[in-house]
Amino acid sequence: MKIFFILFRKEVKELVTKQLVISIAAMLFIFQVIGKFTGEQSKASAARKSAVVVMDLDRSPLSGMVIAGLEKTGYKVTLAADGNAEEALFSPQYADESLFVTLPAGMQKALDCGKKPELGFFAKFKKTISGMGASMSAPRTGKIISRVNEELSDYAIKKKSPSADPAFLKEPITAVEYVAVGGAVAQVPVSQVLLFAQSQTYFFPIAVFFIVVLSAQMVMMAVASEKENKTLETLLSSPIDRRLLVVSKLSASAFIAAVLSGAYMLGMRSFMSGITGAAGSQTAVSARSAFEKLGLLITPQGYLLIGLSVLFCILCALSMAFILGVLAEDVKSIQGMITPLMMMLMLSYLLPMFIDLDLAPTGLKFLLYAIPFTHAFIAPQTVMSGNTAQVLWGIIYQAWVFALFVSIAGRLFSGEALLTLKLRFGRKKNVL
């Protein structure tokens, strides 16, 4: 056991380089900065989203009702002077405004005659068309159009039938939404459930994906550099059990991967809190009792299962990367050697996000479940659905795959051919 800890300490010292420390610190800093500025821009965009400039060319009671309706909904209405829309759009007075509405002359008369007036809705962008504000312009414009339509339809209904209730005629029912999950039913809007489920499941696979890629590249670089620098020959010529050598290398790599995981999760938490800080999570908090009833909240036992699945996912990736690193000709060939691992990661990461595995063809389902990384990516969704047995079987399968590749690595280390074993892509060019 003493030899194991000596080897473990040696491998950790070789893996923990200045470049690794700098990369972790840089990753945390970048996530912190992005989260901070994204959150600030989200707040600024949220403050501006209720502002709208209205050019009232009709000057009628109906146009006054439209403006009052917008203000009642919460919009900050600024009345522009008479003139065409282009003058107001590019006027320095409204340089900070992005949404404009034109109420045309004769709007009320057109409605009184049963004709549809043509209203102008303008969204002003910068030439770059980037940032949070630009992405929010479409839904903001849609909400304003919907609100103006509400006011105009109310007026038209009242004009035709003064005793009628416009709200009742347009919405004669009261919609009460229910969601059923498993054997439980709760009264909660479907959008809230989907938003909550996405917040629990979409962020998680992204973090796991990058953790696996970083740790796999790190292991391959370490093994390939040892082989290239001939330091592997010294270790193999020593009387140390080669299986112990393999285990110590994988243990050290798993330890560093855990550190990377913690750093990445911390950085992503700062990033996500910056993005969601402006909007908050009030919808999820208000519906917490419904989520509990539906069994969508992950318990500590559920998080333990997810953690175990992620752990064995990383270990599987490390064992595969270890073998690929041994087969690499030199450090430069790492990028090509990691391709098989990246292909499996991309399949298991992207496909479950876009397809329903329960409805997928049998062949595709078998392929995805055969990839050990898939079980970690879908673990949160599976735990939320209450199917803990599937998660347990996934962990058992991941452990078997890990043991299989460790056995293959041990066999590779047991022979002397390890030092000359190479896997090349393409033909080697002859040098004249």
Distance CA 126, CA 216 (A): 42
Distance CA 372, CA 396 (A): 10
Statement to judge: residues 223 and 325 lie in one domain: yes
Statement to judge: residues 119 and 221 lie in one domain: no
In the chain, the N- to C-terminal Cα span, in Å, equals 53
Place of tokens 């499941």: 201
pLDDT of residue 427: 46
Statement to judge: residues 23 and 96 lie in one domain: no
- Please count the structural domains in the chain: 2
pLDDT of residue 432: 40
Statement to judge: residues 259 and 128 lie in one domain: no
Tell me the Ramachandran region of residue 84: left when phi exceeds 0, alpha when psi lies from -120 to 50, beta otherwise.
beta
Is residue 425 assigned to a domain?
Answer: no
pLDDT of residue 399: 92
| Residue 132 domain boundaries | 48-174
User: Please, which contacts does 131-136 make with residues 24 or more away whose CB atoms are closer than 8 Å?
Assistant: 131/41, 131/45, 132/38, 132/41, 132/42, 132/45, 133/41, 133/44, 133/45, 133/48, 133/98, 136/45, 136/49
The strand pairing partners of 120, in sequence order, are 102
Is residue 161 assigned to a domain?
Answer: yes
Statement to judge: residues 346 and 219 lie in one domain: yes
Statement to judge: residues 375 and 254 lie in one domain: yes
Which amino acid, 249? K
> The whole model's pTM is what?
0.64
Is residue 37 assigned to a domain?
Answer: no
Statement to judge: residues 205 and 341 lie in one domain: yes
Q: Which residues contact 26 (CB under 8 A, 6 or more apart)?
A: none
CATH number of the domain to which 97 belongs: 3.40.1710.10
Give the residue among 70, 79, 64 at the shortest CA–CA distance from 147: 70
Query: Is 353:347 a contact under the CB 8 Å cutoff?
Result: no
Cα of 336 vs its chain's centroid, Å: 27
Ramachandran angles phi, psi of 348, nearest 5°: -75, -20
- DSSP of 167-214: HHHH--S----EEEETTEEEE--HHHHHHHHHHHHTHHHHHHHHHHHH
Is residue 63 assigned to a domain?
Answer: yes
Give the residue among 340, 406, 336, 392 at the shortest CA–CA distance from 371: 340
pLDDT of residue 295: 74
Statement to judge: residues 239 and 154 lie in one domain: no
Statement to judge: residues 273 and 404 lie in one domain: yes
Statement to judge: residues 20 and 123 lie in one domain: no
Q: What is the mean pLDDT of each run of 10 residues along the chain (432 residues)?
A: 71 65 66 59 55 87 89 84 71 79 88 87 66 55 84 87 82 79 77 70 74 80 75 68 73 72 61 50 59 76 85 86 78 77 88 80 89 89 83 93 85 62 50 41
Statement to judge: residues 169 and 195 lie in one domain: no
Query: Is 89:49 a contact under the CB 8 Å cutoff?
Result: no
Q: How many CB atoms sit inside 10 A of residue 238's CB? A: 11
Is residue 127 assigned to a domain?
Answer: yes
Query: Is 256:219 a contact under the CB 8 Å cutoff?
Result: no
